[in-house]
Amino acid sequence: MKRKVTTILLVLCMVFSVVLSGCSDDKEEGGSATDNELSKTQVEGGSITVGISQDVDSLDPHLAESAGTREVLFNIYEGLVKPDSDGVLVDAVASDHSVSEDAKVYTFILRDGVKFHDGSEVTAEDVKYSIERCADTSNGGPLVSAYSIIESVNILDENTVEIRLSEPDTEFLFNMTTAIIPKDSADTIAVNPVGTGPFAYASRSEGDSVTLKKNEEYWGETAHLDEVVFKVVADSDMLVSYLKGGSIDMAMRLTNIQAAELTEGFHIEEGTMNLVQALFLNNAVEPLNNEKVRQALCYAIDPDEIMDLMNDGKGTRIGTNMLPGYKAYYNDKLTNYYEQDFEKAKELLKEAGYEDGFDLEITVSAADQPHVDTAQVIKEQLKNIGVNVTINPVEWEYWLDEVYANRNFESTIVGLDAKTLSARSLLERFASDYGKNFINFSDSEYDEVLAKAIAAVDTEEQTECYMRLQEILTEKAASVYIQDLANLVAVSDEFDGYEFYPLYVQDMAKIYRVEMK
């Protein structure tokens, strides 16, 4: 079984290597290298300030919800394994692992000498505590849904932890990126974060910034920088001014227009956000509880026009809730399943009893300019079928509470990330009984196929299930899928080493200062 799991990881490695190498090749072919860049010398130490659009929602890695929070916490916490920039799972807090032939027993050997940021050494008890905390169902579902099948977490000796599952799961290793925290720290971890990552928590000014310091005792290659400050820039209109003025040194997810303004002192790295951007529809509210109405919206919206108007065509069109980078699982036949057809859309609305159209509110985080811009384009497109759109810009905290948690919305535009490198993490969130199925999608076939996919030991059978799940989401028009957004990252010429990951993270340990020679 270890051979079978390793094969899956190698496939994903090749997949992500192709995707990510494409980004670096573009930079080389564009001829952006200059004599000055060739004479840069790497310098250790120093501090960088990174602009982020949202404050972190929790410093507790097991409770953090937003992708923006996880990109910060990636630098503080680590799991038994973690992804590298090629999309390969590498051992982290664990130094080795094995999987039983029936994919029901996962065994991890802990790495010698791994220390928490408070100086204490990581023990098997800490690992057991962290996994069991995320598997606990005393307050409802487990914090990590895949942990619902954990039968027991056993300490075999002081360096060995065994996880037994109640049923086979060939993808379970992907969930071992769950942060390892000190035993019995649940009551303090949110205010005093203690992890094992290359950076340690230093301080937080709520609503303003989070400061990290270099972990001098990191078990692996230590970070180059001494300090990283994540600065909240909620007003996207001020982003370029902050960069030019030196208030921040780096910012992600710029628009094409913003990037074009940074002609001096910055270099622009180009990749994708690894987010499924969609007009997500609340399937439980009228008239969106009508499948024909949802399909009409799909026919009325043109993702290509959105990408053209937003970012000169940059981005990757999608047709379902799967990232194109997951090539082993991505169903590219669905990309153009709905082509813009206003007459077809009007016909569907008439059949559904909405011949004269209806009013639709799109709730969107005001801090996320790409989503606000998308909402504006969609508003104009839906006018063509009699749908009157009102855009409701809200604070991110409100979005998390009312839209995501309380499901108090009609439609919203947001980007959903994958918490792990598994296809399951992108698809299980739409199961009828999934606690965070915020769009209230419910389909009996979907639930049956998902259960079959999770139980499958054969890779080919599992892949077929994931393909079918994508088809159901698209055919039923669970939402209007748009794109994996282009990610333009502005980095001050005083820094280098930025790397894209196939997940929504920022690896600040790779970044270093440069001096001109």
Residue 391 is part of a domain; what is its CATH number?
A: 3.10.105.10
The pLDDT-based confidence of 517 (bands split at 50, 70, 90) is: confident
Residues 458 and 361 placed together within one structural domain of the fold = yes
**7 lies in a domain?**
no
Residues 108 and 174 placed together within one structural domain of the fold = yes
Residues 342 and 313 placed together within one structural domain of the fold = yes
Please report the pLDDT score of residue 33 as a whole number: 44
Asked whether the beta carbons of 326 and 316 are under 8 A apart, the reply is no
pLDDT at 28 over 70: no
CATH of the domain at 60: 3.40.190.10
R_g of the chain, CA atoms, integer Å:
23
**152 lies in a domain?**
yes
Please tell me whether the overall predicted TM-score, pTM, comes out greater than 0.75 for this model: yes
Please report the pLDDT score of residue 38 as a whole number: 59
Residues 103 and 216 placed together within one structural domain of the fold = no
Please report the pLDDT score of residue 328 as a whole number: 82
- The H-assigned helical ranges of 246-385 are 256-261, 291-300, 303-311, 342-351, 369-382
**Cα→Cα distances 355→149, 206, 285, 287, 345, Å:** 47, 48, 18, 12, 10
**Long-range Cβ pairs for the range 226-229 (8 Å, 24+):** 226/45, 226/46, 226/47, 227/46, 227/47, 227/48, 227/202, 228/47, 228/48, 228/50, 228/75, 228/199, 228/508, 229/47, 229/48, 229/49, 229/50
The pLDDT-based confidence of 237 (bands split at 50, 70, 90) is: confident
**14 lies in a domain?**
no
Q: What are phi and psi of 496, to 5 degrees?
A: -150, 180
104-108, 270-274, 383-387: lowest mean pLDDT where?
A: 270-274
The pLDDT-based confidence of 21 (bands split at 50, 70, 90) is: very low
pLDDT at 7 over 50: no
pLDDT tens readout for residues 338-349: 999 999 999 999
Residues 355 and 230 placed together within one structural domain of the fold = no
Please report the pLDDT score of residue 35 as a whole number: 45
Most distant pair of Cα atoms in the chain: their distance: 71
Residues 399 and 447 placed together within one structural domain of the fold = yes
- The set of residues, in sequence order, having a beta carbon less than 8 Å from that of 516 and lying 6+ positions away, is 36, 39, 40, 41
Residues 313 and 459 placed together within one structural domain of the fold = yes
Which structural domain, as residue segments, surrounds residue 394? 276-484
**166 lies in a domain?**
yes
Token pair of 142, please? 């487990």
Count of domains forming the chain = 3
CATH of the domain at 159: 3.90.76.10
Residues 211 and 152 placed together within one structural domain of the fold = no
Higher pLDDT, residue 112 or 1: 112
27-36, 307-316, 430-439: lowest mean pLDDT where?
A: 27-36
Q: What are phi and psi of 262, to 5 degrees?
A: -95, 70
pLDDT tens readout for residues 317-327: 999 999 988 88
pLDDT at 6 over 50: no
pLDDT tens readout for residues 162-187: 999 999 888 899 999 999 999 999 99
- Mapping DSSP to helix (H, G, I), strand (E, B) and coil, where does residue 181 land? coil
Output b/e per residue, 411-434; b: 16+ Cβ within 10 A. bbbbbbbbbbbbbbbbbbbbbeee
Residues 356 and 251 placed together within one structural domain of the fold = no
**25 lies in a domain?**
no
- The set of residues, in sequence order, having a beta carbon less than 8 Å from that of 304 and lying 6+ positions away, is 313, 317
123-127, 273-277, 287-291, 428-432: lowest mean pLDDT where?
A: 273-277
**345 lies in a domain?**
yes
Residues 368 and 465 placed together within one structural domain of the fold = yes
Residues 373 and 342 placed together within one structural domain of the fold = yes
**Which residue reads 């590498």 in tokens?**
90
Residues 353 and 241 placed together within one structural domain of the fold = no
194-198, 362-366, 485-489: lowest mean pLDDT where?
A: 485-489
